[in-house]
Structure 1
Amino acid sequence: MSVIADRMAAEKAAPVPSRRSGVAGLRLESELVEGAEWDRVIAGFDDVCQEQMHVFAKRRWPGAVQEPRLFLLGGEVVGGAMVMVQPLPLRLGEIAVAKWAPMLKDASSPDADAIHAGMVDAMMVEYADRRGQMLSILPWASSTPVNTAYERLISRGFRRGSRLLFPNRYMVNLRLSDDEQRRSFDQAWRRQLNKAEKAGLVFEHATPEGIGAFEALYAAMSERKQFADHSAYETVPDLMDIEDPQLRPELFFVRHQGELVAGALIFKGGERAVYLYGATNDKALPLRAGYFLHWHIIRWLRDNTRARWYDLGGTDGFQGLHQFKKGMVGAAGVIRPVPPVANYASRPLAYMMGAGAFAGRDFVQHARRILGSWLNPRSRPTQSRGAPDEAAR
């Protein structure tokens, strides 16, 4: 393990019981490692995700300093967090941001909650107490009704920050037989799949060398729809160049009479597979190629990975996409919200500057969305933000 900073003992971080979970954080050691070493180690984590990979972060956020930080208990790696240290406007300070973190190596460990709490404690000591920065953590959407990771942050003194406009994530249960999965789908979704299966479509699990065909399909779709692309699509070439098959996304196609009509890139590491990007041509909709594509991706993930859930992502406020994903999630899956960002600072000025920077960013993003909807009315959300949250079903 190549180290770029001395190992930081976390004795300063005394275990602090959570008022809500009753979990005391274990005393952990913390170690910074090189980016390539970080990606190698986290490939086997249960909680691994693409946003926490160094190869992703360095392309997506080039203005931030990436700090891949492993946590150890008794000399053994038990978790980690990719923390991005970002300068504030006018260089007035810095904030430390961790998205979908901290990650557990073994989510089923009896000590998992205590390890997670210990990682949070150690991050608070390093970034808030020692460096005087605001620490901003965004846990991912939980598959359980209560997001214990977020509750733990609030109990430790973190404050609620920014929230996504349409926070729900749609998760398909991957541990079902074919018959159980089809029965889980909403009736309308199952009916569309039945029609797609009669349309002469062919499913293909492609090799990484097929990425050029996907990029052409994606570019044509983007040109046709004229939507502003605020995704991290620029990271795709780097992701597809990853040598470790555990971290490299999988590429899937659907063809009709030899023509490529739909494709998808899927992250499959850990216990949660994630739909990254999809692309279709004009023929895909009448052929119902999306139903056919996702049905076979679900089956492939079940049979070839250890993932328990297939995270379809959000909707960006489009009601049609909500209906499509809700139908696929069906009775056996779950719809859960991404929690708000949780912010913590030991010093009032650090919190004030960090929270102000986030407020400014949110204002700019809101203005950009309004301008985009004026320029292209088709990009306006059609899903009501006031609609009841379906996560509790």
Structure 2
Amino acid sequence: MTFRLRAISCDEHLAFIKDRPSVSHMQVPSWGDVKPDWRAESLGWIDETDRIVGAALVLFRPLPKLKRYLAYLPEGPVIDWYAPDLERWLEPMLAHLKTRGAFSVKMGPPVIVRRWDAETVKDAIADPRAGRLRDVEASSCEPRAFDVADRLRRLGWQQGEVGGEDGFSAGQPRYVFQVPLAGRSLDEVQRGFNQQWRRNVKKAEKAGVKVVQGGYEDLPAFYEIYKETAERDRFIPRPLAYFQRMWTALGAEDADRMRLYLARHEGEVLAAATMLTVGEHVWYSYGASTSRKREVQPNNAIQWRMMCDAHELGASVYDLRGITDTLEESNHLLGLLRFKVGTGGQAAEYLGEWDFPLNRLLHKALDLYMSRR
């Protein structure tokens, strides 16, 4: 017997999320308000007792000139991914989305496949024979995740590509770096840092770097150095309005959902970052830094303050988000990976994003369009 699926209210959705230790920040109802180009809907899986046992935020993106949609569930849905009868969850979802005009469904199961500890990643970076993280023996594996992948393939789902030359996927990051906080004191967390990280945190403190929480009015200051970061690191920046919308939408749902941190030295903002919280999971979301005064180490200072605050909030994990899978020295993202590895955390590989073509012709046309972008 499959579950029933129906649209649920934001309040029902939030109530379900509050009972979960970890749900992606892209699976909360307010995330739909952050994406005005998409139409959002909250869905609930209902059991025989009329209880909500799963939930999802679905974003619908229309095809130009057609009333057909790509249905996207970023880092979702929030269901029992290890259930032996996965079709009981996914078949009613596909049937519902088809009635909503979806021609293709894309989802990102929040299932971790493998982990590499910091020392393993560090050794791999130093090894000229290690071209990609995915080819390095993992420190631990989740066998059930491979079973999930097999079941999805049997059900007709297609796994997306791992990503381009830098290892980042076109959607959400498949490889991330996380610092475990559960059961650890802040002293233990800091002792897990490498020597350079501990030295830089102390150097920033000695130099007088002050990290403070900002507000909506500080977003333009963040944005100025975010644009500088985008030019330096070769990515296309989002507009200021995007971050203002994020602040307003997420804050209206939960006052602590989004925070802004600023690292100041002698009155000048040298680094800034946004932090997102859902349950026991805290993410470093967007970061920015100027090239000025790097010697006072504002980036280490701001990350340490955010880890401390995440620990105080009762977080079990501090998530530094995406990392590159490519370990070659020529990769311009390798420096960012080294920075994150210095925290002593773990690299983690998710199952990646999966597609189900409800209309194969339109799905193929979308693939062709995306490949030419």
Q: Quick check: TM above 0.5?
A: yes
- 1:100–1:138 contact (8 Å) kept in structure 2: yes
Measured against aligned partners, the alpha-carbon deviations of 1:53-84 in whole angstroms (never above 9, x if no partner) come to 3433344251x332211222322222211122
Could you tell me how far 1:177 is from its partner in structure 2?
1.4
Query: Does 1:32 pair with 2:7?
Result: yes
Q: Which amino acid aligns with 1:120?
A: L
Percent pairwise identity:
22
Aligned: 1:341 with 2:341: no
The residue matched to 1:325 in structure 2 has which SS?
A: helix
The alpha-carbon deviation at position 296 of structure 1 amounts to 1.8
1:212 is matched with which residue? 217
- In structure 1, list runs of 5 or more residues that go unmatched: 1-13, 15-26, 105-110, 365-393
Contact 1:141 / 1:339 at 8 angstroms: preserved in 2? yes
Hey, what does 2:244 align to over in structure 1? 237
Check whether the contact 2:219–2:243 (CA below 8 A) recurs between aligned residues: no
3-state DSSP class of the match of 1:101? coil
Per-residue deviation at 1:276?
1.5
When the two structures are superposed, what TM-score results if normalisation uses the length of structure 2?
0.74
CA–CA separation in structure 1 for the residues paired with 2:157 and 2:256: 31
Q: Which residue of 2 aligns with 1:120?
A: 90
**One-letter amino acid of the counterpart of residue 319, structure 2:** D
Distance 2:3 2:256 in 1: 26
For the 8 Å contact 2:20–2:279, the answer to whether it is kept is yes
Task: Name the structure 2 match of 1:321.
Answer: 336
Distance 1:151 1:237 in 2: 41
Following superposition, the deviation at residue 45 of structure 1 comes to 3.9
User: Do 2:284 and 2:318's aligned partners in 1 also have CA atoms closer than 8 Å?
Assistant: yes
Q: 1:128 to 1:361 in 2, by over 3 A?
A: same
Which residue is equivalent to 1:154?
Answer: 153
User: What TM-score, normalized by structure 1, do the two folds share?
Assistant: 0.70
Moved more, 265-274 or 314-323: 314-323
Moved more, 89-98 or 259-268: 89-98
Answer yes or no: is the 8 Å Cα contact 2:10–2:29 preserved in 1: yes
What is the SS of the residue equivalent to 1:133?
strand
1:101 to 76, 85, 108: 76
Query: After superposition, what is the alpha-carbon deviation per residue over 1:189-245, rounded to whole angstroms, capped at 9, x for unaligned?
Result: 233223223222223234xxx232242232244157535535486432233222343
Q: CA RMSD in A?
A: 3.2
Shift of 1:101: 0.7
Alignment partners' CA distance in 1, 2:68 and 2:204: 55
Q: Structure 2: which 5+ runs fail to align? A: 115-140, 169-174, 325-331
- Cα displacement (A) at 1:324: 0.5
Query: Cα gap change, 1:66/1:162 in structure 2, threshold over 3 Å: closer, same or farther?
Result: farther
CA distance, structure 1, for counterparts of residue 9 and residue 211 of structure 2 = 39
CA contact (8 A) 1:141 1:336 kept: no
**1:174 alignment partner, one of 164, 171, 181:** 181
Is the 8 Å Cα contact of residues 160 and 341 (structure 1) preserved in structure 2?
Answer: yes
